Amino acid sequence: MNWQKFNGETLHVPILQAVEDTIIREHQLGNKLKIYIGTDSQVKRGIVEFATVIVFLREHRGGFMFIHKDRKTHNMSIKERMLIEVQHSIDIAYQVCPLLEQYHVDLEVHADINTNPNFQSNTALKEAMGYIMGMGFMFKAKPESFASTNCANKLVQ
């Protein structure tokens, strides 16, 4: 899995090592971190492009993120696409969870799913919320899901 920084620079170490190095560096600088993981997708000419982000937010000091992009040519419903987004986020959250517990860093998983039933993505809300919370993670949906709704969204437009 290839990960990069927002400036396009490729991470040359596995994502777990990059996350741990980042946590250690930020703690040494005196920063309190919280991590947010989210995924968004966009359909373009039959290709679904996914972007998953790990957002590191420093308390009162801004933040930064690591990015992974993926593509699928599979034709899917909006509900299936929303649940695949959630799966991408859960996969990463599950991988980094032991590190976050070790370094006492809080985590939220964000889903680009609207809480308003008038939007199509809402059809996946109950399943996504159950899946994320069932895995033991904090869950946020629109309008509070900035990691997926704002950060990842910028990368698939």
Cα(100)–Cα(65) distance, integer angstroms: 16
- Give this prediction's pTM: 0.93
- The pLDDT of residue 46 is 84
pLDDT tens, residue by residue, 3-41: 999 999 999 999 999 999 999 999 999 999 999 999 999
- The pLDDT of residue 120 is 87
pLDDT tens, residue by residue, 55-68: 999 999 999 999 99
Burial 44-77 (b: 16+ CB within 10 A, else e): eeeebbbbbbbbbbeeeeebebbbbeeeeeeeee
Examine the pLDDT at 1 and tell me if it is beyond 80. Answer: no
- The pLDDT of residue 7 is 92
pLDDT tens, residue by residue, 75-128: 888 899 999 999 999 999 999 999 999 999 999 999 999 898 888 888 899 999
Comparing CA positions, the residue from 7, 8, 57, 53 lying closest to residue 31 is: 57
- The pLDDT of residue 102 is 97
Tokens of residue 113, six digits: 């799913």
Examine the pLDDT at 48 and tell me if it is beyond 80. Answer: yes
**At a CB cut-off of 8 Å and minimum separation 6, what does 39 contact?**
50, 51, 52, 53, 85, 86, 88, 89, 112, 148, 152
- The pLDDT of residue 51 is 96
